[in-house]
Chain A
Amino acid sequence: MRAIKILLIKEFQQIFRNPAILRMILVMPAVQLIIMPFAANYEVKNINLAIVNHDNSQYSQQLVNKILSSGYFKLSINTQSYDVALNSVEKDKTDVIIEIPSNFEKDLIKESKTKIFVSANAVNPSKAGIGSAYVMGIIREFNSAILAQLVQQPKFNNIPRIEATPIFWYNKFLNYKMYMVPGILVSLITMVGSLLASINLVQEKEIGTMEQINVTPIKKWQFILGKLIPFWIMGIVMLTIGMTISYLIFGIFPQGSFGLIYLFAAFYLIGLLGIGLLISTIAETQLQANFIGFFVIMFFNMLSGLFTPLDGMPQWAKYLALANPVTYFIEVMRMVIMKGSGFFDVLPQFFALIVMAIVFNSLAILNYHKTN
């Protein structure tokens, strides 16, 4: 015990003396949490719309007004020529083109049918898809309004139609930040656990102090614990800072219990530190540790459902995501913070994290013995 105490004293002396580490723990979460939720926003707004209106009738003008006043679109160009509009797409100034044919009003009234041409720039598939869906929706609405106007049969005051009213549970106003902030918190802690810890361990290898420690009576497990405990504490501190920031700036306050969040964080960090230790046994230099750590973190974040829903991934990617601790912790954070889930709701995730903590740490220790 005394040996571990001495190792911890030394480790904290070094941490408090290192301005880079302090900045990383305090400033990094602040900056990331303040900026990232705005960047990782999937709401599609300000779709640049080109209108090619060959008709210039009352109806066509009404339709255009209706679309533009919906709030989703910004008029990029209003022209008579489709080629001009297409050219504007090529210059990336337009996302969606609407072409209204010349006999729009006439056909609509006389033939009771007409066509509108919608084309979208699908370089960004989600913007193209959502943009054209918005346009269709507005046209459909416009269509039924005209129907009501034209077909005035006395028997029917109203045309029968079904109106669906959604209620959004757990996130009433569909605030995307509510969803992103807990996820970003997790990815921050992931950085400390895996990257910082492995770099610190490799640094001791590089400067030769590891060899010096190896010839003292300190046992390996003592040395490892002396290293991992400070980073475990740092992770917990970072989580606390992060949650404070997300409350102060976004007003996000966990619906569920703090105890549950910290319980998960505690086990999650143990698993992560195992990964950090594993990286440190593979890497010979800090640069290598950095690259491996970066690769692992990229992989973890992308396959965790942080940015993109797991349901949309192919089956094999889902299996990979199931072997990713980040997946579970993000799930749990979202459930506890947004829905107020209790311990029994997240029991499967809890077991998954414990299994992973055991697996990663066993691998690390095995490899540690082999390389030393």
Chain B
Amino acid sequence: MSEKVLITKNLTKKFGDFVAVDNISFDLEKGEIFGFLGANGAGKTTAMKMLIGISKPTSGSATVAGFDIYKQTELVKSNIGYMSQKFSLYDDLTVIENIRFFAGIYGLSDKEIKEKSDILIEKLEMKSEINTLVASLPLGWKQKLSFSIAIVHNPKIVFLDEPTGGVDPASRRLFWDLIYEAAHNGTTVFVTTHYMDEAEYCNRVSIMVDGRIEALDSPFNLKKQFKVNSIDEVFHQLARKATRQAD
């Protein structure tokens, strides 16, 4: 039996009367690429914030990387990686300074930081750019760097919040190569996206509508179930039922 790195049960988040996330339950396995889809305002970001420990759930339970999200937030945070749609690196630091900083705050030793950054620079082919300010890097490079930094501490699971927004198709393709590689090395990838072609690359996909998970399966099974040819069409069939306004 494969290892579960994330388990949620009836996870719910309410803001007053508004139920942003409504009883969601799912499990993720080690090394899996999990696509978390939904229209704007469907509750994706809220759900993700609970899982990465920056928002307290109203009810329900979840363990992330084996730790309880209520009681063990610090341990959860040490064992996950996170990359937001803003690729939140420091623009006024150089490539190597960013790597050292984030590796350092994840508690890597100086020796580990040295080794890790050498490997990372090599892999990203950025040797000539290590002393370049991140502000002057092309978007595609920033994004790859941001992802590599998010997994610099070998997290059990990495959360990617619309990681490919605003990037050209070629760069997106290259970026997905990095995702595959990370998954192959045993890191579970939890990714939200608006690109339906990217959804097809995932092992499993969930589609959220009005705070609830309306569908969850492999892209192949979902297409079979809804009798269509693409995830895009599955998405549209489900999203049409939404009553909530996008924000």
Contact = CB atoms under 8 A, between A and B. Distances in A.
A13 B52 contact: no
A213 interface: yes
Given A10-B93, A13-B93, A14-B93, A212 B88 contact: yes
Interface residues of B, number: 23
A215 B86 contact: no
A214 interface: yes
A207 B93 CA distance: 14
Q: Is the interface of B mostly helix, strand, loop or mixed?
A: loop
Given A214-B54, A217-B78, A209 B105 contact: no
Contact of A218 (B89, B92, B105): B105
Given A10-B97, A10-B101, A216-B77, A17 B92 contact: yes
Q: Is the interface of A mostly helix, strand, loop or mixed?
A: helix
Contacts of A18: 92
Interface centre among A6, A14, A17 (most CB of B within 10 A): A6
A353 to B, nearest CB: 33
B102 A216 contact: yes
Interface string B72-94: 00100110101010101111110
Interface residues of A, number: 23
A209 B54 contact: no
A14 B101 CA distance: 12
B107 A207 contact: no
A10 B78 CA distance: 20
Contacts of B91: 207
Nearest to B83: A212
Given A2-B104, A6-B104, A217 B77 contact: yes
B53 interface: yes
Interface string B206-244: 000000000000000000000000000000000000000
A372 B54 CA distance: 8
A211 interface: yes
B175 interface: no
Contacts of B180: none
B6 to A, nearest CB: 15
A49 interface: no
A141 B128 CA distance: 85
Contact of A216 (B84, B86, B89, B105): B105
9 nearest A-B residue pairs (beta carbon): A6-B104, A208-B86, A212-B88, A208-B88, A215-B82, A217-B78, A209-B88, A10-B101, A217-B77
17 contacts: A3-B104, A6-B105, A9-B101, A13-B93, A14-B90, A207-B91, A208-B84, A208-B88, A209-B90, A212-B82, A212-B84, A215-B52, A215-B77, A216-B105, A217-B74, A218-B105, A372-B54
Given A207-B86, A215-B52, A217-B107, 7 more contacts: A17-B92, A207-B88, A209-B89, A215-B54, A215-B77, A216-B105, A218-B105
